[in-house]
Amino acid sequence: MTLHRPKMRFSPFLLFFLVLFALIMQGCFHSSSGGNKIGVTPDVDPTGYYDVSGTANVGDVSSGMLTITDLQGLVNGTRFIAISDANGLVYDGTITEINTDDFTATVSVFQDGTLITTAPVTGMITAGAKITGTLTGSGLGSGSFELIYALSNDQAADLSRLQLDVLDQWITQVGGSTNLVSALGFVVGTTGNITHISTPIDGIFNGCNIDSGTILPVVGTSLYTASMTLSNCNNTLVDGDYEGLAITRTESTETPVGDRLVLVTSNSDFGLYGEFIISGQF
């Protein structure tokens, strides 16, 4: 006797729910390692150099508002630095949070090498284009800024660009120095070690020598890390360890024309920074 099995029939709605269930289960058991979750936008990476075309408008005791047109930025990991060499100003701090393209930070504000205030920062990062932000402190720690991502970021940091001809040095006035013959100067060795050459004779870094230090490439970027130990300063409070970031750039519109080493280092109370030029370019 032949047995006939009854045919099973599925309604279109039942088939739809079976397929939907299978897709849901596949998503539940799918490993999340090795990639971003579906529908989640990753946080942007602001690492890089932001060139000298940046701008800012910040509070100023004497004028009410200071307009800055030479703002440069150096960002590596959570370290956030903005410098206006023309105004002797540095904003140096830490990015505390990045949420997609919004960020918050806290910066110390140095003028002519001395800490004058701190300020919270909020803003937006447009990857590979710019950083805009608002400072909500007081005085020079209040206002807004825009940093422009440099085209030179595709040029990896290389110690050979810091090597100079014999008798040349990287040199500039630092810490509010006003004496035209007073400058801090050093050379960088093949391993990135810093050797002190010239000592300032005025400003907050009057008498300071660089006991030791290094400038080293940050792998995969155009940036360098910088560290140094100062000693013999007339103001002994200035002696100590400083660390920060550096970048090389080529200046073609100002005098003197040539290569620049933009270096920003600081500790909790003082900042040693500036645009160092090659002594042979004077």
- The model's pLDDT over 63-96, given as tens digits with 9 standing for 90+, comes to 789 999 999 999 999 999 999 999 999 999 999 9
| pTM to 2 decimal places | 0.85
Q: Give the closest residue to 199 by CA, choosing from 210, 189, 188.
A: 210
* 255 pLDDT tier (thresholds 50, 70, 90): confident
Sorted by where each begins, the domain ranges of the chain are 48-153, 155-281
Dig out the tokens for 207 from the structure: 């008498």
Residue 196, SS3 per DSSP: strand
Q: What is the Cα Rg of the chain in Å?
A: 27
CB 146 within 8 A of CB 54: yes
The DSSP 8-state label assigned to residue 237 in this structure reads G
Q: How far is CA 63 from CA 54, 87, 91, 110, 139, in A?
A: 21, 13, 20, 18, 11
* Angle at the Cα of 112 from the Cα atoms of 274 and 270, rounded to 5 degrees: 90
CB 208 within 8 A of CB 230: yes
Architecture label for domain 48-153: Beta Barrel (2.40)
Dig out the tokens for 192 from the structure: 């990135």
CB 241 within 8 A of CB 267: yes
Range from 15-29, 142-156, 166-180, 203-217 carrying the lowest mean pLDDT: 15-29
